[in-house]
């Protein structure tokens, strides 16, 4: 590695394709779950942008590229790899559920990561964990010396599992303010001792642990019961976060929502957006409530939507944990009334010309006040 020059690759793994045989269907197969390889990946660009900014601030010269294996070859199927191959067929009644990878084959990573100093993946869903782990294995196979960073909701609550499969660091919350420091420490062979980051050395002996030890997570700064500790809170105010630098070639491939192809009259590119994170409630069964609640002002949303529009995005999908949670936030003092802010944000989406979807739904009961009347 040239002095201060760092080659970084952000990777979105292939999707997991599930089909059922033995019950009819097209060519003897029935699709078990819809696969949406052209649904956008916001984390890919957001983490890359943040990492680049933080490294440049420390005097490094990052060369960052992206590989979306799912959207680039959405019709390509390849078998499960390595130890996961034994799970490629699972008996189900009188039939079999077949698992394959849908997207660019893992063998293609040889050229992608050969010279990479750092690779990062955001693993959001448990359903994609096996695909992520196989991608991690391929990265380490083709470049054992590359540093592998993992984040995302699924990794946050299963750090042991991802560390066992080759991760050099797992982020237990937001990466902003940490990802640059962690990367520099790992590149220089220094121990990582930042709260909210798990490494093979900081999380204790792994052994054959399959389920996260909540006590150990708590020692690392994660309150696994309800409200999160400050160590995994958002380290940067949402109002100050930088906007992601999109790769327009990849962005042009995003043409689906979680419900499938866009309806007539609605066009891509498609991208996720957030105007808040977390939830002001503290329900012990919900991971959203473990994160402190923050929401964006309408002015900040306006700037974000302008950035999206200039990037060529035409359809936006809400990734909100709970968009209407503003109505519950008792910490707002001297700010715009939440009811008006909600109206203003929806008007901004319309005025910027976006098609829009609440992909996570809405808690519509919050629109009703204690008397049973519609809030105004």
* Cβ atoms of 197 and 182 closer than 8 Å: yes
pLDDT for residue 156: 83
Q: Which CATH class is domain 248-367?
A: alpha beta
pLDDT for residue 218: 56
56 vs 54: CA distance, rounded Å: 6
Sequence-distant (≥ 6) Cβ neighbours of residue 207 within 8 angstroms: none
170 vs 186: CA distance, rounded Å: 12
pLDDT for residue 331: 67
* Cβ atoms of 30 and 19 closer than 8 Å: yes
Q: Which helix (H) or strand (E) holds 169?
A: strand 169-171
CB-CB neighbours of 371 under 10 Å:
5
* Block mean pLDDT (10 aa), the chain, length 376: 80 94 92 88 92 93 94 92 88 94 94 95 86 95 96 86 92 84 92 85 48 50 40 52 90 91 90 86 66 82 96 94 82 72 94 92 80 71
In DSSP terms, 339 is beta-bridged to none
CATH number of this structure's domain 5-222, picked from the four choices 3.40.50.2300, 3.40.50.300, 3.40.630.30, 3.30.9.10: 3.40.50.2300
Report, in this order, helix, strand and coil percent for the chain, each rounded to 5. Answer: 35, 20, 45
69 vs 21: CA distance, rounded Å: 26
196 vs 221: CA distance, rounded Å: 6
Alpha carbon distances (Å) from 311 to 31, 54, 169: 34, 22, 31
Q: Domain boundaries in the chain?
A: 5-222, 248-367
pLDDT for residue 353: 95
pLDDT for residue 93: 94
């Amino acid at each position: 590695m040239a002095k201060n020059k760092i080659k970084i690759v952000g990777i979105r793994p292939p999707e997991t394709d599930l089909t059922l045989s033995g019950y009819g269907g097209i060519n003897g197969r029935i699709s078990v779950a819809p696969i949406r390889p052209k649904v956008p990946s916001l984390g890919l660009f957001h983490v890359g942008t943040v990492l680049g900014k933080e490294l440049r601030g420390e005097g490094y010269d990052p060369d960052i590229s992206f590989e979306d294996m799912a959207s680039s070859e959405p019709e390509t199927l390849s078998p499960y790899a390595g130890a996961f191959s034994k799970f490629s067929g699972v008996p189900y009644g009188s039939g079999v559920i077949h698992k394959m990878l849908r997207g660019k084959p893992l063998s293609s990573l040889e050229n992608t990561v050969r010279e990479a100093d750092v690779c990062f993946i955001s693993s959001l869903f448990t359903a994609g964990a096996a695909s992520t782990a196989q991608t991690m294995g391929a990265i380490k196979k083709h470049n054992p010396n590359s540093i592998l960073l993992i984040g995302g909701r699924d990794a946050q609550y299963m750090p042991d599992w991802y560390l066992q499969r080759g991760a050099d660091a797992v982020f237990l919350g937001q990466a902003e303010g940490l990802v640059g420091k962690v990367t520099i420490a790992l590149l220089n062979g220094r121990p990582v001792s930042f709260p909210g980051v798990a490494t093979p050395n900081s999380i204790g002996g792994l052994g054959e642990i399959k389920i996260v030890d909540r006590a150990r997570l708590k020692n690392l700064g994660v309150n696994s019961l309800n409200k999160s500790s400050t160590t995994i809170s958002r380290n940067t105010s949402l109002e100050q976060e930088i906007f992601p630098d999109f790769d327009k070639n990849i962005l042009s491939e995003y043409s689906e929502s979680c419900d499938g192809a866009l309806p007539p009259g609605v066009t891509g590119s498609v991208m996720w957006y957030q105007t808040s994170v977390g939830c002001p409630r503290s329900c012990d069964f919900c991971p959203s409530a473990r994160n402190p609640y923050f929401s964006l002002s309408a002015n900040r949303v306006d700037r974000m939507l302008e950035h999206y529009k200039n990037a060529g995005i035409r359809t936006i999908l809400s990734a909100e944990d709970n968009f209407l949670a503003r109505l519950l936030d008792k910490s707002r003092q001297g700010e715009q009334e939440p009811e008006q802010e909600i109206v203003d944000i929806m008007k901004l989406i319309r005025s910027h010309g976006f098609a829009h979807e609440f992909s996570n739904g809405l808690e519509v009961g919050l629109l009703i006040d204690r008397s049973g009347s519609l809030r105004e």
